[in-house]
Amino acid sequence: MAITLKINGQSQEVDAAPGTPLLWVLRDHLGMTGTKFGCGAAQCGACTVHVDGELTRACVTPHDSLDGAAITTIEGVEGRAADAIRKAWVANDVPQCGYCQSGQIMAAAALLRDNPKPDDAAIDAAMSGNLCRCATYMSIRRAIKEAATTL
């Protein structure tokens, strides 16, 4: 059954089986591959998107539960916090392989939006749901703090 999703401000009609997680609708139906698959179990954060501004794991969120919701992905996230995060990510060369970084950026952007001056404990709390096997954690912490100084 076709339903309409609002993604990055645009309405998109999708026709996926009921219950199909948003992740696979984004990736396989809409060709928006910036949001990544890491575990399928909300354990790694690679698929993190914003739904009405809230951090959401797309791999366990049925797309048909999002009727009328505003979905934001890495391709569309913007605003002062997201811009500052992207800038600090580039300046610090945060990503290594980069695969988890869409999710890391979505989490970090939401953190700075809600808490422009996070301390280490706040960074731990906000970012510990996002795994990085390259272990860019040190760079992520540095870059969040650097981004915070620009807000």
Closest distance between another protein and the C-beta of residue 65, in Å? 14
Q: Residue 51 or residue 99: which is nearer to another protein going by CB?
A: 99
* Residue 75 structure tokens: 């391709």
Q: Compute the Cα dihedral for 5, 28, 42, 21 and give only its sign.
A: positive
User: Does position 140 bind another protein by CB under 8 A?
Assistant: yes
Chain centroid to Cα 129, Å, comes to 11
Number of residues that bind another protein (CB under 8 A): 61
* Residue 1 structure tokens: 């059954």
Task: Centre a 10 Å sphere on the Cβ of residue 135 and count the other Cβ atoms it contains.
Answer: 10
How far is it, in rounded angstroms, from Cα 140 to Cα 93? 9
From candidates 2, 10, 41, 54, binder to another protein by CB under 8 A: 41
User: Does position 33 bind another protein by CB under 8 A?
Assistant: yes
Q: Which residues between 64 and 123 bind another protein (CB under 8 A)?
A: 73-75, 86, 89-90, 93-102, 105, 120, 123
* Residue 8 structure tokens: 């990055």
125: left (phi over 0), alpha (psi -120 to 50) or beta: alpha
- Candidates 21-29, 50-58, 64-72, 111-119: pick the segment binding another protein (CB under 8 A): 21-29
Residues 6+ apart with CB under 8 A from 2: 13, 14, 15
- Candidates 50-58, 64-72, 110-118, 138-146: pick the segment binding another protein (CB under 8 A): 138-146
- Which residues lie near another protein (CB under 8 A)? 16-18, 20-21, 23-25, 27-29, 31-41, 43-44, 46, 73-75, 86, 89-90, 93-102, 105, 120, 123-125, 127-141
